[in-house]
Chain A
């Protein structure tokens, strides 16, 4: 095996890991703070991608240059997708906050189906192309070839993760989020409006999912309304594997997933009796194995929930 392929695969893994990690962040934050699996999150990612597509198409229709369209698409798609996330929280989850967890979980599934079929009804089932907002350029570094989009995705993701980490660690909202993750019912007694924090959590998670959607659209410009499902599942796996209450954990687990998938594919293609379609079978067996030994996830503390007051 030569170094070129190895380095390219590392970058592929980093790129996939970035998608998983950014989506997993939204999952993990909601799960940590509200003890809630927001199964609609993968579909919020898909919706964000379609919103970005819509915004970009309109802006390009006004003949604006791409360097104007790209930042505006990011900002508008983030804002609109955040609003969707906050509406989902208000309508779907807040009334069920004290309901059995299973009811809240199927709420997520139902909202997911509503988003999928909603997009299907509005846009149609045919695959649509995401506009090329950044001209793909190939970078040659010695023997290694990369695309500028891959590099940008990895850098942008790392910046966002660092930003979220700082936000949760330092700001008043971040502190409230951490406190809610440890002992939810006490937090309002410190004068913290927990409903606002819950709304903010959904809004931020959804905004991040929209950015992940834009990056996905730039790297794989073919969209369909069901694209969120598999990414949602995998990001969910990353969120749990990372451990409850750990932003870093979700990110690292997201990248782990990316690396395991890409390198399993690489190895499987070189073994004569295997094929790349073995990828997920082997990858997720490995992750199941990790969970058996670390049932609370990589960075989760062993946690016994005290929900009584």
Chain B
């Protein structure tokens, strides 16, 4: 059985069928891509699996456990982490605070520790700090540790967001358009970052992308979504050459000819 298994998931927004009959299975270490035109329902699928919305129908299992309708923090602590298309960072918190915050569930000190600095709290915080620096170094943003995230260059902010997701020690990472708005050089860097992360942590990754280059380089499996339904799936090459996919992106080419 796959690590993450989605069966016949569907979701309605009022009368709109935003996602219909969606199936997905991700094995440990597998990289799966999700492409599709704007408004196809890609981010909705992320939100449904990560617990922000509760699916109208269908079932999501993670590590053999049914997580359909669980709270986002519960799903997150089971080992699912994600980033956001529009980068949801906490503007006036430092980079280090972002990473430390993501270690929240690993801190076990109590209120007494909070006010009086017990040895346990001091030890836990020292460990978390050390680990945070390790991750920041890994993403090449450790020189920004004490800066507010708003003051960082765009590419660095993206890396901080990814480091924040990874420091929760997930088994599967959801990336929502990690290269949006990037220059070609930044794009190549990001592909390398994702590849490095995938190899180092032997992570499973579920990736939303618009750029076929990223999908080709990283994914073993791709699904193309349109109007909430899977239009095509297979290897990146198969999906890319599927006439239905070309039509969804470019319109009916025969009509032009």
Contact = CB atoms under 8 A, between A and B. Distances in A.
B71 A188 contact: yes
B164 A182 contact: no
A245 B105 CA distance: 23
Q: Per DSSP, are chain A's interface residues mostly helix, strand or loop, or mixed? A: helix
Nearest to A200: B111
B89 interface: yes
Contacts of B107: 172
Interface in B37-58: 47, 50-52
A175 B104 contact: yes
A175 B50 CA distance: 22
B73 A179 contact: no
B52 A309 contact: yes
Interface string B216-248: 000000000000000000000000000000000
Nearest to B128: A172
B104 A192 contact: yes
A82 to B, nearest CB: 11
A191 B76 contact: yes
Interface string A163-178: 1000100011111101
B52 A185 contact: yes
Nearest to A181: B90
Nearest to B77: A191
Nearest to A246: B92
A171 to B, nearest CB: 4
B92 A191 contact: no
Contact of B73 (A183, A192, A309): A192
Contacts of B92: 182, 245, 301
B155 interface: no
A194 interface: yes
A191 B105 contact: yes
Given A167-B115, A309-B47, A188 B93 contact: no
Given A167-B114, A188-B76, A191-B168, A175 B81 contact: no
Contacts of A186: 84, 88, 90
A193 B73 contact: yes
B29 interface: no
A189 interface: yes
Contacts of A183: 88-91
Task: Bin chain B's interface residue count.
Answer: 20 to 34
A190 interface: yes
A189 B73 contact: yes
Interface residues of A, number: 25
B144 to A, nearest CB: 17
A167 B117 CA distance: 11
B69 interface: no
Contacts of A309: 47, 52
B102 A190 contact: yes
Nearest to B124: A172
B164 to A, nearest CB: 7
A190 to B, nearest CB: 5
Among A163, A178, A309, the one with the most B-chain Cβ atoms within 10 Å of its Cβ is A309
B210 to A, nearest CB: 20
A175 B97 contact: yes
B104 A182 contact: no
A179 B52 contact: no
B88 A190 contact: no
B207 interface: no
B100 interface: yes
A104 to B, nearest CB: 21
5 contacts: A172-B104, A175-B93, A176-B104, A178-B97, A182-B92
